[in-house]
Amino acid sequence: MKIGKLVKSHIPGIFAMCEKAPGELPNLMDKKYSKEKFGVNFPFCMEVDSIRETLRFWSNEYHVCGKTVRVTSQWFAYNQFEFVNYLVDKKIISKADAANLLHSMQASNAESAVQIEQKRDAALARQSSLSRRYRAHAIGNSQNGFIRYILGRLEDESFSEKDWQRAIIFFGGACAYCGAKGELVIDHAIPINREYLGEHKLGNLVSACRDCNSRKAGNDYREFLFGETDRLERIKEHMHKNNYAPLRERDNFQQLQEVFDMAYKELVPLADRYIRIINCMLTEKEK
């Protein structure tokens, strides 16, 4: 299931809850509350007449507590944990339902990532005049590497192996996800990719056993540890202690994401250009 579908399917439940607890509707119309609860940059809902940025709200209208409202459409995959947590918190769904929901979302996220990759490769093949070659290095790998490179070097932070060793001690010399001891590797709590925009900063590095590291893969730590409050808190404490403020918590996250998309796309014409230059040189030499 996709995040938009997830939110839409629970809007009736949320508004039914508001009818019983009328104090909640003004909260849901408050931008700050919405940011805090869901991590989205728009109020959860707004009265139809007061909406200026119409594109940021779905067109369906709901009647709740005597008001006519529309719900914001500005959801990203990483908002799913907060959203599901809210549903549990407000007793709209049970904890078990929440775990099932997140599980099914994880599966569909993985699936759509593969589909997106395939679609993109096909589109690139159509756009490019360059030859297609079986099993040649896919540009997507370089693009992802490029994004990782950028995310690994933002702002002025440096740390050494000693700092990393201290982080391992903070997690009790064990896996931050399951508590297992033994061989530990570096895991990025928030994945370093275009979707999550995690960074290679000390606060985002946690110790993980090989098993957790491979099972977590490209998922966010909050998704991976859903319901494990103590471990989640410990990781948040580690982030806080090392002054790590995830990019997705910034007000301009959306613009940031657009710039990352630009960087991602710009690599394709750049590669094409160099291939052409080098091809020219190769043919000249033959003459």
Distance CA 106, CA 15 (A): 26
Q: In the set 6, 40, 45, 209, which binds Zn ion (CB under 5 A)?
A: 209
Token pair listed for 172: 């009790």
Half-sphere exposure of 42 (CA within 13 A, CB side): 20
The answer to whether residue 40 forms part of the interface with Zn ion (CB under 5 A) is: no
Q: Least separation, in Å, of the C-beta of 175 and Zn ion? A: 3
Burial class, 191, CB count within 10 angstroms (exposed 0-12 / middle 13-18 / buried 19+)? buried
State the nearest-atom distance from the C-beta of 178 to Zn ion, in Å.
Answer: 3
Among 192, 212, 225, 235, binds Zn ion (CB under 5 A): 212
Site for Zn ion in 61-80 (CB under 5 A): none
- What's CA 82's distance to the chain center, in Å? 12
CB of 204 to Zn ion, least distance (A): 17
Under the binding rule (CB under 5 A), the answer on residue 268 touching Zn ion is no
Q: Which part of the chain contacts Zn ion (CB under 5 A), choosing from 26-34, 88-96, 171-179, 184-192?
A: 171-179
**d(C-alpha 86, C-alpha 95), whole Å:** 11
Smallest separation, CB 210 to Zn ion (Å): 8
Task: Give the H/E segment covering residue 64.
Answer: strand 62-64
Measured from the CB atom, the residue of 153 and 181 that comes closer to Zn ion is 181
User: Should residue 206 be labelled a site residue for Zn ion when binding is judged by CB under 5 A?
Assistant: no
* 165: amino acid identity, one letter: Q
